[in-house]
Copies of this chain bind each other. A is one copy, B any other.
């Protein structure tokens, strides 16, 4: 540990383990000496939560994207984008993404990956999508009917209703009965061209900066990063327009993308995501609204949908049960 630097050694404690859980998934992330035992910070709440406060995502919806720097863990959102989720599963099953690359990193916006040889206007170019579809109907939103959103009481700049559904940050509009995954840090969407039905999931992007909520309802969010965001957010930015890399050799190769369900049982890690329909989650949110850390002198009294990281634990060995 380096010398005691003033700022945020305490300030970030509440956010720390939550972030750490998401970023490093160390269930054993050390509790900083700074966190007073009496306080119930978000970190404390998460650490002390019962097993029932965690869910195990469907292994068919969990993807491991291996980059040279490590693994980016992704959870598909079939509830919000069933056609895209199905198409992406097909692409992964036939190893479509293996050997492709991150071709674009635009600062404070998105990292984008796909086939560098692909060409929207020429289906003969680039890798075959096999039995996956080249285009899909738009899945920019779903009906809010029957959708249980763990609502935030806080204001939102862009939507009348915000909250969480199975760990995904969700916005909704009761007037139009639309609900959609918000473009928050870590949200993954399916690239499209000028027409709304030109996306397929073969081209994906992850938000790496201030949430570009202006994209909401304009493109299909299909997944979110569970762990490994820092592997995408710390990539060199591209020098071309919109952050495309100048030279092909700058592209960041994707070693492989595989589904958790396709990994051999023994090698399959235990992936758990903090549930967002529990009292513990409500307590986490409240602790983020009004930080318990002694460092804080002014409780914000509010939190933004995109400021909340849903904790994730990914452990190498599956538990006995």
Show the binding face of A for B, using Cβ within 8 Å.
Answer: 1-12, 15-16, 19-20, 23-24, 30, 32, 103-110, 112, 114, 116-121, 125-126, 140, 154-158, 184-185, 189-194, 196, 198-199, 203, 205, 209-219, 229-230, 233-237, 239-242, 244-245, 248, 288, 291, 294-298, 300, 302-304, 306-307, 309
A4–B294 alpha-carbon span in the complex (Å): 51
Number of copies of this kind of chain in the complex: 2
State whether A8 touches B205 (Cβ < 8 A): yes
State whether B5 touches A229 (Cβ < 8 A): no
Given the interface pairs A191-B6, A295-B194, the reply to whether A210 lies near B213 with Cβ below 8 Å is no
**Main DSSP-derived SS at the A contact region:** loop
CB distance from A47 to the nearest CB of B (A): 14
State whether B294 touches A103 (Cβ < 8 A): no
State whether B1 touches A109 (Cβ < 8 A): no
Contact of A107 among B190, B214, B230 (CB under 8 A): B230
Given the interface pairs A108-B185, A205-B8, the reply to whether A303 lies near B19 with Cβ below 8 Å is no
Chain B residues with CB under 8 A of A215: 11
Chain B residues with CB under 8 A of A190: 7
State whether B216 touches A300 (Cβ < 8 A): yes
State whether B7 touches A216 (Cβ < 8 A): no
A103–B3 alpha-carbon span in the complex (Å): 10
